[in-house]
Amino acid sequence: MRVLVMAMSVMMTNAAMADGFGERFDQLDLSRWTVAQYEFKHPSFDTDWNRSQVQVDQGLMLQLDPQAGRENRFVGGSIRTHATHHYGRFEAVMQPARGAGVVTGFFTYTGPHYGTRHDEIDIEFLGKNTNQIHLATFVDGKLWNKFIDLPFDASDAPRTYAFEWDADAVRWYVEGQMIYERRAADGAIPSLPGQVYANLWAADPSIKSWSGLARQGISAHAKVTAINVTALVTPDS
């Protein structure tokens, strides 16, 4: 916790606090969240979205199930904020799903659907190996990513995962400890405000070398017990 507070203090030296939010998912606040409901045509996804796959039961429950008669073999759950958020701290207490080809995500995103370039910051868990966390950014659609080994199986219990984002760096945290920092000196940092997402999906077989292959007929679930966003406004914004 001391490391966490010190990191936030560094970020706030030249920044003023702006409104964020704290979500405990006692219920699903539809004034804050949109629940996805549509057929999803994306080359990396074997998943459509349906509201039935998002429930609240002592936290947010995201479900992945097989479906028949559709181009995508699976139906999953996804939520996103109505509002966009910019530089700050983004934290989730979550228990990802286990299973080859299954991906649990917590991230910020904006892209062509919203009239912008594609900027994104990711925390993902690939169900084929939940002893790792996958970190990624997109800047104008260009991917950077990295896997980090964890000293535990993330699918065993809810734990706290976070990233801090400013103009100079993205820093990722697990249980309050920084595990990686990507600085602007290392490569481009996302700079556009994005909506906050949490989702559970099955990867398309075309990317099985990354994700593993989801077996026909499998089901999986992930749990999110809290999401906290503390956004920052820089003096020149």
Residue numbers annotated as active site: 120, 124
Alpha carbon 186 to its chain centroid, in Å, reads 22
Q: How far apart are CA 7 and CA 9, in angstroms?
A: 5
| Token digits of residue 52 | 């039935």
First to last CA, the chain: 29
Measured at the CA of 60, the angle between CA 107 and CA 139, to 5 degrees, comes to: 5
Find the helix or strand (DSSP H, E) in which 84 lies. strand 74-85
What single letter denotes the amino acid at residue 16?
Answer: A
Q: What is the DSSP letter of 87?
A: S
Classify each residue of 29-41 as buried b or exposed e, where b means 16 or more C-beta atoms within 10 Å of its C-beta: eeeebebbeeebe
H/E run at residue 5: helix 2-12
Q: Residue 168 corresponds to which tokens in the numbers above? A: 């100079």
